[in-house]
Structure 1
């Protein structure tokens, strides 16, 4: 079978190679991959790839071999999955605790756009707590996570301000009900909750806009610039605050995947897909994703899938 593997080259981060079809462990199903969605964080891993790296965490496809231990979906079931790696291939072995069944109403492209960004959004908002009537600031809002967070938070009754680099990258967020600004300094606080994903100077600036006793949840560093906090300056802002470091990981993923599928099926969540292409164009797509030339998610299709 064909698989995409890292090259270590910035201009063309992956290339096709022939590999044996994976042999699933007893608690894994073999999935024929129809679509996959790379994440910007994965593009960073490809800059200096580890020898064992087989990229690919967000997939949708068809179960062609059920798990030997009897868990999970049976042969012929359409699924969305979140394997630890190895999803950029014609076949992937996926733990059944990281699979959810897809209804016919959701195509593979939309499904593949769900896992990492959608699970992150769900778990991030659970960490933030009750949102109804609360003022929320979201930085780095125009990526895949940001679109899901915005739609879910506004739907839950939050008054959300979204920070995007340009008006174009924030158009859909505004339509979803967010107040749009293009730098943290322009956000009008105070905020009850800050969801911070850019790092660098944005985090302390966002922190200064919180009300006393507010909560900041730090879930990324997209700027790739370290954060420096001046606590003398901090005491002149919200006086006291709670800072959480958040990471989405922690199986099982199946319940959250199933919840995301239900939300899409009910019309309450709409994946924002900025590009759909055949997987022959994966390398170019990865470069554009890394350089922020794609709004929302990018999805690559295998074998003419839709």
Structure 2
């Protein structure tokens, strides 16, 4: 999909060997936030149905999004017990925390502190994941950072590899089905959607600069499924059709599509798009009429 051929160089082989980070296989705890939320301890699923366990998993989701950050009692009350009195909500939090500790470490001796859930005074909790944890959300950020570093160094092949790995994750399915958490999840969802879009943009540009038309168009079409009015993707597709042939009718449809983008989003500084529309019209009008069958 990324267009790596049989002449792949040694450096790219190194990148390919990192397709699956060793920590995903070696970590004792693996959490998946894209798609249905699930946590595995070794090979066993953590948490089963039940009111207490659901509240404990709710806390775990929030902790995984905010590792190491102290979370106040008030914040946790707003998260899971907004309608309860403070006294009742505080008691419920303590019960859910106890359940969470037991879910994550069922063999934890009574009276021993959790390895992950820590309490500061009477008002703050924090979650320290450490090296025992791997999450797909952290992996996406790691891959994107690798992609940007390679991009800055001018290593376009390696950058394409890492950007491609970012877009391989179903980032649009972040905490799929978690309607109750929607308002609080919005900033996190926006962050991952932004990483996805930025990766697609760089993949389009890098593959275009490398003369890899097939890969460039693949990511351009994928961008349009995310943002139907993305100027870069629409321009790349139209340019490819105009340059590499296609019927006059197809070029006219592309021109109409580009013009609709401009009408919807405003003219602004989209002079390149308008120029491409005019070029499409000229070439469509000058194309020979197809022969009609006798």
Q: Which category describes the TM-score, using the shorter chain as reference length?
A: under 0.3
Query: Who wins on radius of gyration, i.e. which is larger?
Result: 2
**Structure (1 or 2) with the greater helix fraction:** 2
Which structure would you say has the larger RCO, counting Cα contacts within 8 Å and 6 or more residues apart?
1
TM-score (norm 2): 0.22
